[in-house]
Amino acid sequence: MMKTLLKLIVLAILVTIGVGMYRTIVQPDDLYATTGNFPGCPARPSCVSSLAKDDVHRVAALAYTGDALTAVSMLREVIERMGGKIEHESAGYLHAVFVVTQLKLRDDLELLVLPEGAIEVRSISRFGTRDFGKNRERVEELRRAFEAVPQPSSTIEPQN
């Protein structure tokens, strides 16, 4: 009886590890790049989004001045400096993947640059319910780094 129970426990652990590996390798199917809709967060706390209505998931959108193409270029630069890898890029949209080094798990960061100067943001872990605040930290680090990049001025300086 004890050997059977031990085998079941080991099997459950192996299945959990297998599912985790699969979920972290396979790209989610709810990305804006796939659906055309910028997604919010599921109920689990390992996600933050500027579209979320609740305090657990809500994070402020980013802001920019100037044109959207320049903002996307600046975001790409900041993401790559932070260690993210751009997976998808289209007009006003970036999807980057960050690998959590300890376990090689992947997190997805999506940014949708709107023409009125706002950037919707979503960061979510592919696997696990808890991320210990990592996605929120990443978004705030992105915000600080993006705000530190000199943004183009909308006024033209007179030349002497």
DSSP code per residue over 37-98? S-----SSSSEEETT--STTTB-PPEE--S-HHHHHHHHHHHHHHTT-EEEEEETTEEEEEE
d(CA 32, CA 52): 15
pLDDT, average across residues 42-71: 94
* Domain assignment of residue 141, yes or no: yes
Residue 122 lies in a domain: yes
Q: How far apart are CA 8 and CA 21, in angstroms?
A: 20
pTM: 0.81
Nearest to 47 by CA among 113, 120, 108: 108
The first and second tokens of residue 53, run together, are: 């209505």
Within-domain flag for 55: yes
Domain CATH number, residue 113: 3.30.310.80
Domain count, the chain: 1
Which of 104, 110, 86 lies closest to 20, judged by CA?
104
Does residue 76 form part of some domain? yes
Question: 67-118, pLDDT tens digit by residue?
Answer: 999 999 999 999 999 999 999 999 899 999 999 867 778 999 999 999 999 9
Q: Determine, yes or no, domain membership for 10.
A: no
Q: What range defines the domain where residue 69 resides?
A: 29-148
